[in-house]
Amino acid sequence: MLQFPHISQCEELRLSLERDYHSLCERQPIGRLLFREFCATRPELTRCIAFLDGVADYEVTPDEKRKECGWRLMQNFLSHTGPDLIPEVPRQLVTNCAQRLEQGPYKDLFQELTRLTHEYLSVAPFADYLDSIYFNRFLQWKWLERQPVTKNTFRQYRVLGKGGFGEVCACQVRATGKMYACKKLEKKRIKKRKGEAMALNEKQILEKVNSRFVVSLAYAYETKDALCLVLTLMNGGDLKFHIYHMGQAGFPEARAVFYAAEICCGLEDLHRERIVYRDLKPENILLDDHGHIRISDLGLAVHVPEGQTIKGRVGTVGYMAPEVVKNERYTFSPDWWALGCLLYEMIAGQSPFQQRKKKIKREEVERLVKEVPEEYSEHFSPQARSLCSQLLCKDPAERLGCGGGGAREVKEHPLFKKLNFKRLGAGMLEPPFKPDPQAIYCKDVLDIEQFSTVKGVELEATDQDFYQKFATGSVSIPWQNEVGTCPADGVGSRGAPLGSVLIATCSVADGGDRVLPGAECLRAGWLGSPRPGLEGPAACTPKEGTAAEALQSPGLLWELQRQ
């Protein structure tokens, strides 16, 4: 059960929140929705939001239709005779856009106009939003987001596998029904192995990264015996399973290219945060229910300070780059090497430097990595061979992705010519393989080896400092995404996704202080009473009231009937 606080309970939060437009109105999903609801009350702001949405659509429109889409944007929002002219647009910039559009439908055509529109919204409109009932509602959501997280927040289900410090099991958030994977790090096992820094590093990196292509950390909490990371649940198994246990080893090239493209996007998101992954291999790439992949297990990932290099002989034998094997300094080059290894393995059905189930000494594998070129079979098209060989270049200075352009260099390779990376990044491309929802892509519970009891280690009061740094509760963006998409059972909209319905607390009219009757308010959890025998919006009798009354009503949001 989730319940809004009285708005007076949010005053400390109001004072402590950083008033940053980008964070409050763009990055945070609930903040974004509420700011858009606020903008919908003013025609000039509505036009700005419509323009930004139009640009987003333009960028993911297929190449052959993008030019037409661009001219519609120009006509509707940037022409003096257009119906939705947006405010404060330099005419010379509009002229330049029109000239560039004539030459070709460039994806970044409206980049400067988008920046100026956000700049306009971030001044007076943002200030007005901060004084509105919409921001008050956002504060109530943030108050809920920051409530303590304990083991009682979740229902625990079957064991899925093992991590380095404990089991991984399925779990479900009681309030929303959302399923996750809970990675348990046993406190005594961490202490015995002196793994505190590694565990905290993984947690902090996961918390920092918000990517469609990297597993997301939703919660971090502690129990008496364990530290727990609650992560994206990936039911489709890992790439190692799919490469070697689903018929003939390896994939058709089109499938391998799709996964390589999504991994490239994930690496790009990590590198943008100056994080080098260092453990890219098939078993660390997981599939979701739809067949999209995410990078997992960031235990070896590390932040690379701006303008610096790092050193560390870490990773998995056969996937470590020559510079890592030689213990030389590097930034992000090992990840592009490992992508080459993985693409090769997906197409060939075996690793480039060691054969499956054939015992080769570590020293010999490392010699092959440093000195011997990989061999290519007839499974590789000329373009696939070209990309693999450029990623598997022994010299990091000559390797694709390491020349200053990063992921852009890799994306521009001819092998990806038919892929629209904007649409891929928006989740709009259909994966070549969709996991069977009835299949189990992990070991049977009885086949998962149990951990032995840790002996000779005692937890002390001084360990609490580390536990407090780790157990920080909900992670903002994943939590807001979760509550914004869960079923709205119990609030007059049985089974409907919440999204903006739950967020959009009221329609504003008559000076902005009236709450109009209707299902929007009911679904938000206040003003309205159930009518027996009915479901959906008809189940509630609307009541009118002021916005202040609405915000002062704690209001039941939803309660899932799942016992």
Residues annotated in a binding site for ATP: 192
Provide the CA 380 distance to its chain's centre, in angstroms: 32
Active-site entry in 84, 269, 279, 335: 279
Report how far apart, in Å, the C-alpha atoms of 232 and of each of 170, 297, 309 are.
10, 12, 31
Q: Which two tokens stand for residue 375?
A: 């061999």
- Residue found by looking up tokens 């590093």 in the block: 201
Q: Which two tokens stand for residue 9?
A: 């309970």
3-state SS of the chain: helix, strand, coil percent to 5? 45, 10, 40
Contact indicator for 126, 25 with CB cutoff of 8 Å: yes
Query: What are residue 371's phi and psi, to 5 degrees?
Result: -125, -30
| Virtual torsion, Cα 183, 189, 194, 199, nearest 10 deg | 10
Contact indicator for 528, 540 with CB cutoff of 8 Å: yes
Among residues 244, 38, 281, 21, which one has the least CA distance to residue 137?
38
Contact indicator for 316, 342 with CB cutoff of 8 Å: no
- Cα(243)–Cα(323) distance, integer angstroms: 27
- Cα(120)–Cα(45) distance, integer angstroms: 10
H or E segment and range at residue 160: strand 154-162
| Virtual torsion, Cα 150, 560, 211, 48, nearest 10 deg | -120
Q: Is 514 helix (H, G, I), strand (E, B) or coil?
A: strand
- Identify whether 108 is a catalytic site residue: no
Annotated catalytic residues are 279
